[in-house]
Chain A
Amino acid sequence: MLFQQSILCFIAGLACGAGFLVISSKSPVHSVLSLIFSFVLCSFVLLTLEIDILALIFLIVYVGAIAILFLFVVMILNVKVAEARANLFQYFPLGFFLLSLLYFDLGLLMPASFSVDVAHFIPFYLEWPKAVLSFGCLESIGFLLYTYFPFYLIGAGLLLLLAIVGAILLTLHRGVGVHRQEVSFQNRRDWVEVLHMVQ
């Protein structure tokens, strides 16, 4: 228990350090990189707490999609280094306010409504048949999702389809004057007739 807790504290401390690096580093690329680092560490923390599905979601969604998108945007934008440095402490009151709200929320309201009986912490013997036969986190979510809530799955699928259609609508240009590739026509052409040697 102590070993696990010390590992947890170490990783959480590293994550806090990475979070500090996000706001203190000079180059925006570095701060995005340390943001990714802190996300990875957070997913480690979740893994240590045995919340495996959330840890995977953290890795896939935050690191795989959002942070990489940030990185691309930052690299494309080519932001000046000196500007970000000047107004670091400008946002301090706002951050402090948000932190105090979070503390109020998590520290005062939550424990009162989630108060747990001490009897839950009495050590118990591991029942091996139960451990083998019971569902894991992912399996139980899949079981519920596919058996009882397939409409959510279809709705989420429609949402993804919508994202694709929207992106196409915003980028693809349709019209009469647009040059487009006619694949069959191109394949039918004979290169002997098309190529000419210029003297």
Chain B
Amino acid sequence: MFPFSVHSRFSYFSFFSNDLVSLLPEIFLVCCICLFLVHGVVFSKTGRILSTNVANLSILALVFVCILLCCSPGGNYLAAYSCFFEDDFIRIIKVFLLLTCIFCVTLSLFYIQLEKSNTFEYSVLLLISLFGIIAVLGANDFLSLYLGLELQALSFYTLAANVRVSEFATEAGLKYFVIGAVASGFYLFGASLLYGFTGCVRFSDFSLLLSHIAPAEVEGIFLAFFIFFSSFLFKVGAVPFHAWVPDVYEGTSLNVTAIFALLPKLALFGVITRLLFCYFFSLFDVWQFPFVLCAVFSFVWGSLAALGQGRIKRLLAYGGISHSGYLLFGVCSGTVYGAQGVVIYLLSYILSGVTIFCSLVGLRFSRVRYIADFAGLSLFSPGVAFAIAASLLSAAGIPPVVGFFGKLSIFLSALAGSLYVGALFGVLCSVISTFYYLRILRTIFFENGSRPLGAFFSFFGSYFSKELSFLVGFCAVLLFWIPINPRILFFISFYSSIGLIG
């Protein structure tokens, strides 16, 4: 790439000769962000509305980034003076992140056209947050991780408060902002304490240090470690730090809720798994019990509190809390199967989440807010009813759908890690959560048609756009198709978990 730098006497030039190759997807993404911003600013001066245009462009850019990522050289490497790290686990999670982001932009495109939202910055903010999430995933350093987290969080605050006329959206944005600031404070405090007690900034140095020194000899490292990780628990909404989740999910508009539910969970659980498995595994005895407690409280509280919810968004929020509990439980098992289970669970979560959020966005004009409003959906639109049923069955973990494999592998890995009591609680809570998911299905299939839905369908007919209906159909079919031929799922997850270890 740079022939003059390879044999140069200045050794730091050679650091960057490989960076262009290894960081090409990220560099391309940032260039696209800047280009779209300039494009939007220049062409919207004449009063043109560019929201659809920029959203389409960003889908194109995401596809290109995906191709670049798939064509990357492979293997494990450190880039940019070992600020960023990449292996097969990270690469696979990144590909799924990009696909999820394409789904989210498609979903938002429909919403944007529906609501006549005229801001092209929406897609640009989404791309910036995606860049931040990718930086979080590949971070090998306290600072690069922090920069990525802040990029993601700052664009999410703005996305949450995107709908200016809605008081709920403003409240959600402010709440998310305050919680995010607290989480950042925890992160920085924990990181500075960890640096103060050990003198390491890079994560790979921690694994080296802790494998040679007994952790108990490093004074105060446990306190610093838990302060550091509580910020991640804040971000994923695990139970002692979960209070913001229902309000933020409920207040924001539906497309933003989908983004909040899908994108960060994938990246954060990727980075939590990587940090705990690769770099802080010497502290396993210390972190296992508190995180298991956190996970158990999460899924117990998530399933119990969802029982009393009437609003569909709040129910999905509590479902999300219990999902993050299960994921954390998979991490806590401390085995390779746990990592594999986390990947399988994440994929099934993404699939079911995309299906249900796309269906809800498609039913947007019917003002379906409460669960009772779904009554008789199967009469009006059997396809949508089928898709929602598939995604809810997957979230509940009932056998013919892909979510079953996620829960199964999480519980099997927990049994392999001798977490018997926790696994028992998990199965019980899974049964409890089945109750409220089945209650929605009963409302959809076995109750008489409600007034708002009937009015909606008689007025609009079927109001799904082509892309949205393709997305719903694709994901719903995939939910049933993967269990028939689960080889691909197991191969991908096993490959990525092996990449995590090796």
Contacts and interface: CB of A to CB of B under 8 A. Distances in A.
A169 B131 contact: no
Interface string A149-187: 101101110110111011011101011101010000000
A35 B330 CA distance: 47
Contacts of A170: 158, 161-162, 164
Nearest to A148: B81
Contacts of A148: 12, 15, 81
A110 B144 CA distance: 26
Q: Is the interface of B mostly helix, strand, loop or mixed?
A: helix
A152 B84 CA distance: 11
A114 interface: yes
Contact of B124 (A152, A165, A178): A165
B155 A109 contact: no
Interface residues of B, number: 40
A152 B33 CA distance: 17
B49 A174 contact: yes
A51 to B, nearest CB: 15
B489 interface: no
B55 interface: no
A110 B151 contact: no
A141 to B, nearest CB: 13
Contacts of B219: 109, 112-113
Interface in A2-56: none
A199 interface: no
A149 B118 contact: no
B150 interface: yes
A134 interface: no
B125 A169 contact: yes
Contacts of B144: 151-152, 155
Nearest to B84: A151
A109 B83 contact: no
Interface in B164-212: 164, 196-197
A87 interface: no
B261 interface: no
Given A149-B83, A168-B121, A176-B47, A162 B223 contact: no
A90 interface: no
**Which 5 pairs of residues, A with B, have the shortest CB-CB distance?**
A166-B158, A155-B147, A174-B118, A169-B121, A109-B220
26 contacts: A105-B223, A112-B220, A113-B196, A113-B197, A148-B12, A148-B15, A149-B81, A149-B83, A152-B83, A158-B128, A162-B158, A163-B154, A165-B37, A165-B125, A166-B125, A166-B155, A166-B158, A169-B162, A170-B158, A170-B162, A170-B164, A174-B44, A174-B118, A174-B119, A175-B118, A180-B47
